[in-house]
């Protein structure tokens, strides 16, 4: 409805709340449509995929000391402050009572949200497999794809494990690719520098 106030035509305020509500619904719908929050697999199922021959997984946690953090930051070329936790969670994979490997559980921040993942490492410190457990991403869907993750297989702290060197990032998800790569490199140095087994 149009009213005249001081000789100028203006729209009535009665329709504005409805218009604002419609715009709000459109924004809400579009946001929900493009944010892809996915729960892919439980940690228990993923552990058995990484080490099929394991008959048990012992959950452990260590808290890195300040000296250990400084050492790993220098060697892995990562900064812990605000991006990496000093609490390291891992599972020791066992078969018939013998250690056969270790699986780290970690979370890094992608561009749009957290990426929660497991990294399986054999006794020599090389990556066996990486599995994404869940993530919140808009364009980072390929971050969980096997084609991207298989690049890390057999990598160790002796390798660069660096985006654009020996790891190709996901097109359109460079920040998430870099965060995941840095997290994996950090964990490989944690394994190499600290006696976890």
- pLDDT value, residue 1: 57
Residue for token pair 């390291």: 88
Indicate if 84 and 60 belong to the same structural domain.
yes
- pLDDT value, residue 171: 83
- pLDDT value, residue 25: 44
Give which of 117, 191, 104, 111 is closest to 149, Cα–Cα: 117
Q: What is the pTM of this model?
A: 0.80
User: At 68, phi and psi to the nearest 5?
Assistant: -65, -40
CB 116 within 8 A of CB 135: yes
Domain that residue 27 falls in: 2-33
Task: Write out residues in the chain with pLDDT < 70, as ranges.
Answer: 1-37, 139-141
Indicate if 53 and 14 belong to the same structural domain.
no
Indicate if 96 and 165 belong to the same structural domain.
yes
- pLDDT value, residue 27: 45
- pLDDT value, residue 112: 85
Indicate if 84 and 167 belong to the same structural domain.
yes
Indicate if 16 and 44 belong to the same structural domain.
no
What residues have CB less than 8 Å from 30, skipping those under 6 apart? Answer: none
- pLDDT value, residue 61: 97
User: Residue 108 and residue 110: Cα distance in Å, rounded?
Assistant: 6
Q: Which residues on adjacent β-strands are paired with residue 130? A: 119
C-alpha to C-alpha distances, 80 to 64, 74, 85, 169, nearest whole angstrom: 11, 11, 7, 22
């Amino acid at each position: 409805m149009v009213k005249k106030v001081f000789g100028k035509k203006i729209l009535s305020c009665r329709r504005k709340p409805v218009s604002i509500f419609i715009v709000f619904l459109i924004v809400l719908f579009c946001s929900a449509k493009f944010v892809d929050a996915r729960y892919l697999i439980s940690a228990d199922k993923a552990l058995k995929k990484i080490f099929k021959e394991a008959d048990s997984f012992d959950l452990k946690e260590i808290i890195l000391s300040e000296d250990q953090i400084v050492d790993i930051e220098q060697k892995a070329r990562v900064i812990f402050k605000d991006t990496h936790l000093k609490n390291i969670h891992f599972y020791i994979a066992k078969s018939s009572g013998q250690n056969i490997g270790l699986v780290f559980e970690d979370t890094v921040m992608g561009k749009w949200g957290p990426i929660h993942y497991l990294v399986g490492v054999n006794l020599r410190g090389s990556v066996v497999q990486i599995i994404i457990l869940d993530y919140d991403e808009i364009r980072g869907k390929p971050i969980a794809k096997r084609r991207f993750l298989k690049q890390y297989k057999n990598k160790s702290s002796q390798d660069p494990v660096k985006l654009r060197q020996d790891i190709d990032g996901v097109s359109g998800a460079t920040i998430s690719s870099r965060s995941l790569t840095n997290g994996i490199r950090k964990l490989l140095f944690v394994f190499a520098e600290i006696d976890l087994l």
